[in-house]
Amino acid sequence: MTVPDHIDTLLARLEALDVRLLATPGGALRYDAPRHALTDDLLAELRSHKAELIARISGVTHEVTDRAPASDQQARMIAGHYSVPHAEVWNIPTRIRFTGALDPDALRAALAELIGRHHGLRTRFVQQDDGAWWQEVVAPPPLDLPVEDLTHLPAAAERRKHGEELCHEAAAASFDLTRPVLPRLRLIRTEEDEWALMFVLHHICVDGWSLSVLLAEIAELYAAYASGTAHTLPAPTSQSTDYARWQREQDDPATEARRAAHCAAYLDGVPAALDVPTALPRPEKLSGRGGTIRGLASGELRAAVEGFAAARHTTPFAVAAAALGVFLARLSGERDILLAVPYANREATAFESLVAMTSTAIMVRVRPDPDESCAALVTRTGAGAMEAMANVLPTARIMQAMREAGATDVPDRVPYVLAFQNSVDTDIEIPHLGVEVDDLAPPLARSELCFGLAPRRDPATGYRTFLEYSADLWDAEAAEALLTEYTTLLSELCSRPEEPVGSLLQANGKARTA
């Protein structure tokens, strides 16, 4: 695979337009350009790749401080990055809103230390002659975090609008994996006491667990720098390069063969396709465009899910997965549902503070039997999920195992996803500041439908909910209705544990067809 160098391509475009760039000693990027040469899109691209451009035109070289093979997850993410029409679908764009007397210098120092603490935040990927990918950790570069102050704009509505535009611009720009994949940072001030930090990462650097680690560390590091005291964070117990080397040490052909055999048996006979009605005509090929609907589910629903799980000695995830299986079965008429489920995959305590992508997808099968009780379905689904977690393999290897076992109709991908994010905690607190964290996912989709539930820190506040959907197949209104119907069915399942599943399968779900 030949990987394009995005910065070289960008510099070539600028040269063709007679645009000259200059990096100032203070870390600013200046330009001299003919009138109308720099479009809004091109300016946005310059801002998004400011650090890389400054490094390139300043002749800065990145000292490599550690090197290791890419982990299995990193290698899969590299393949995914270069195989989709919009690589920015793999961005993890987090906006942290601050209300109060924020100290930008303390925030800058906190972020610089954060990047210094974690190899995964300053890694580039290089391809060897044999096609294998390696990760190279570079020394922490100087951190540039200028304040984009919008308080000079006279109208509050204008300030908010422009601030939103800047945030979404940062969220939507793609990364070049062959350059150090540093966090994309942007600090925007919209009022005297209102700020927004865009903290954009590539999924190859972090997963949901890692994001929770980073947000907690940002809070503690900022509080320490703002108060002039030393932080109390211990050093990370492992780094992304350590994880990749550990993973290589665990390679065991016999274990892989046993896991592959289990997966092939577990998935034997699963339908390769599911005919879920769509709101729009299905095109020959999906464009990658998408959207995300977000909401909140009540503390009462969360208590019902957790109470149901505890009474049957299973997990809240099993309840959510069984309900989604029933929901998709009701829409499609199929009685055998395959879900892809992101799994944190952090069994070793040494990896609890690791900032890296260790998560992988497991395949969970939900087979609603109209005559069995809802409780029995949940128990059976949970048992299958636990076995899947104990036999983790890359998705491509699972599909290969199915073919080797004689399956002739094997899905290339699993279009329906359940993200039960019980390892993600974005509710952070900082003394003397109001803090809100939200996700600004670009208008893209990684699958056809991804339903998400994220438990909030306070159980009484319930779940954050979301549905990421393909905009080729559903519009926002139809997607919002799907999310509402799923959470409603989840509540109904919890309220009737001993009733037959058929009572839910026969409910009047409002399937939407084009």
pLDDT score at 293:
97
pLDDT score at 1:
40
Give mean pLDDT, residues 103-116: 96
Tokens found for residue 71? 């982990």
The closest alpha carbon to 236, from 213, 208, 220, 202, belongs to: 213
Q: Looking at the structure, do residues 360 and 482 belong to the same domain, yes or no?
A: yes
Q: Dump pLDDT digits (tens) for 350-408.
A: 898 999 999 999 999 999 999 999 999 999 999 999 999 999 998 889 999 999 999 88
Full 3-state SS string of 329-373: HHHHCCCCEEEEEEECCCCCHHHCCCCCCCCEEEEEEECCCCCCE
Domain membership of residue 275 (yes or no) is no
| Average pLDDT of every residue of the chain | 91
Q: Looking at the structure, do residues 18 and 105 belong to the same domain, yes or no?
A: no
pLDDT-derived band of residue 24, with 50, 70 and 90 as boundaries?
A: low
pLDDT score at 52:
73
3-state secondary structure of 300: helix
Residue 104 CB neighbours (<10 A): 15
Q: Dump pLDDT digits (tens) for 72-108.
A: 999 999 999 999 999 999 999 999 999 999 999 999 9
Q: Dump pLDDT digits (tens) for 459-486.
A: 999 999 999 999 999 999 999 999 999 9
Q: Which residues, including other chains, have CB under 8 Å from residue 177's CB and lie 6 or more apart?
A: 3, 78, 81, 124, 125, 202, 204
Domain membership of residue 262 (yes or no) is no
Tokens 């490094």 found at: 55
Q: Looking at the structure, do residues 325 and 231 belong to the same domain, yes or no?
A: no
Q: Looking at the structure, do residues 19 and 69 belong to the same domain, yes or no?
A: no
Last residue of some domain: 12, 44, 61?
61
% pLDDT > 90, the chain: 76
Q: Residue 398 is part of a domain; what is its CATH number? A: 3.30.559.30
Give mean pLDDT, residues 43-54: 78
Q: Looking at the structure, do residues 320 and 332 belong to the same domain, yes or no?
A: yes
pLDDT score at 43:
84
The closest alpha carbon to 95, from 492, 454, 368, 428, belongs to: 428
Domain membership of residue 273 (yes or no) is no
The answer, yes or no, to whether residue 271 has pLDDT greater than 70, is yes
3-state secondary structure of 453: strand
The answer, yes or no, to whether residue 60 has pLDDT greater than 80, is no
d(CA 462, CA 304): 10
Domain membership of residue 274 (yes or no) is no
d(CA 194, CA 173): 24
Domain of residue 46: give its range: 1-61
d(CA 330, CA 221): 49
Domain membership of residue 476 (yes or no) is yes
The answer, yes or no, to whether residue 488 has pLDDT greater than 90, is yes
The answer, yes or no, to whether residue 165 has pLDDT greater than 90, is yes
Q: Looking at the structure, do residues 233 and 349 belong to the same domain, yes or no?
A: no
pLDDT score at 295:
95
pLDDT score at 510:
41
Q: Looking at the structure, do residues 37 and 131 belong to the same domain, yes or no?
A: no
Tokens found for residue 292? 């995300």
Give mean pLDDT, residues 248-275: 92
Q: Are 62 and 181 in contact (CB under 8 A)?
A: no
The answer, yes or no, to whether residue 509 has pLDDT greater than 60, is no
pLDDT-derived band of residue 181, with 50, 70 and 90 as boundaries?
A: very high
d(CA 277, CA 454): 26
Which residues face 455 on adjacent strands?
A: 463
pLDDT-derived band of residue 424, with 50, 70 and 90 as boundaries?
A: confident
The answer, yes or no, to whether residue 415 has pLDDT greater than 80, is yes
Q: Looking at the structure, do residues 27 and 173 belong to the same domain, yes or no?
A: no
The answer, yes or no, to whether residue 246 has pLDDT greater than 60, is yes
Give mean pLDDT, residues 184-202: 96
Where are any strands of DSSP class E within 404-473? Answer: 416-420, 434-439, 449-455, 463-470
The answer, yes or no, to whether residue 17 has pLDDT greater than 90, is no
pLDDT-derived band of residue 145, with 50, 70 and 90 as boundaries?
A: confident
pTM of the predicted model over 0.75 = yes
Q: Dump pLDDT digits (tens) for 360-373.
A: 999 999 999 999 99
Which residues face 198 on adjacent strands?
A: 95, 186
pLDDT-derived band of residue 62, with 50, 70 and 90 as boundaries?
A: confident
Q: Looking at the structure, do residues 293 and 146 belong to the same domain, yes or no?
A: no
Q: Looking at the structure, do residues 416 and 356 belong to the same domain, yes or no?
A: yes
Q: Residue 17 is part of a domain; what is its CATH number? A: 1.10.10.1830
Count, in order, helices (H) and strands (E) of the chain: 15, 16
**By CB neighbour count within 10 A (0-12 exposed, 13-18 middle, 19+ buried), where does 458 fall?**
exposed
pLDDT score at 8:
73
Q: Looking at the structure, do residues 67 and 54 belong to the same domain, yes or no?
A: no
Q: Residue 169 is part of a domain; what is its CATH number? A: 3.30.559.10
Q: Which residues, including other chains, have CB under 8 Å from residue 348's CB and lie 6 or more apart?
A: none
Q: Which of 30-44, 139-153, 161-175, 293-307 has the highest mean pLDDT?
A: 293-307
d(CA 274, CA 272): 7
pLDDT-derived band of residue 5, with 50, 70 and 90 as boundaries?
A: low
Q: Are 50 and 63 in contact (CB under 8 A)?
A: no
What DSSP string runs through 22-78? Answer: EE-TTS-EEEE--TT-S-HHHHHHHHHTHHHHHHHHTT--PPEEEEEEPPHHHHHHH
Listed in sequence order, the DSSP H helices in 187-297 are: 208-227, 240-249, 253-266
Residue 493 CB neighbours (<10 A): 26
> Worst-scoring range by mean pLDDT, 28-42, 279-293, 498-512?
498-512
Sign for the pseudo-dihedral over CA of 307, 308, 312, 318: negative
3-state secondary structure of 318: helix
Size (the chain), residues: 514
Give mean pLDDT, residues 240-256: 94
Residue 69: what residue type?
P
pLDDT-derived band of residue 234, with 50, 70 and 90 as boundaries?
A: very high
Sign for the pseudo-dihedral over CA of 259, 261, 265, 267: positive
Domain membership of residue 44 (yes or no) is yes
pLDDT score at 13:
83
Domain membership of residue 460 (yes or no) is yes
> Worst-scoring range by mean pLDDT, 1-10, 123-132, 313-322, 325-334?
1-10
Tokens found for residue 494? 């919890």
Domain membership of residue 258 (yes or no) is no
pLDDT-derived band of residue 240, with 50, 70 and 90 as boundaries?
A: very high
The answer, yes or no, to whether residue 27 has pLDDT greater than 80, is no
pLDDT-derived band of residue 514, with 50, 70 and 90 as boundaries?
A: very low
Euclidean distance between the first and the last CA atom of the chain, given in angstroms as a whole number: 39
pLDDT score at 36:
78
d(CA 355, CA 236): 9
Q: Dump pLDDT digits (tens) for 317-350.
A: 999 999 999 999 999 999 999 999 999 998 778 8
d(CA 176, CA 7): 8
Last residue of some domain: 61, 76, 99?
61
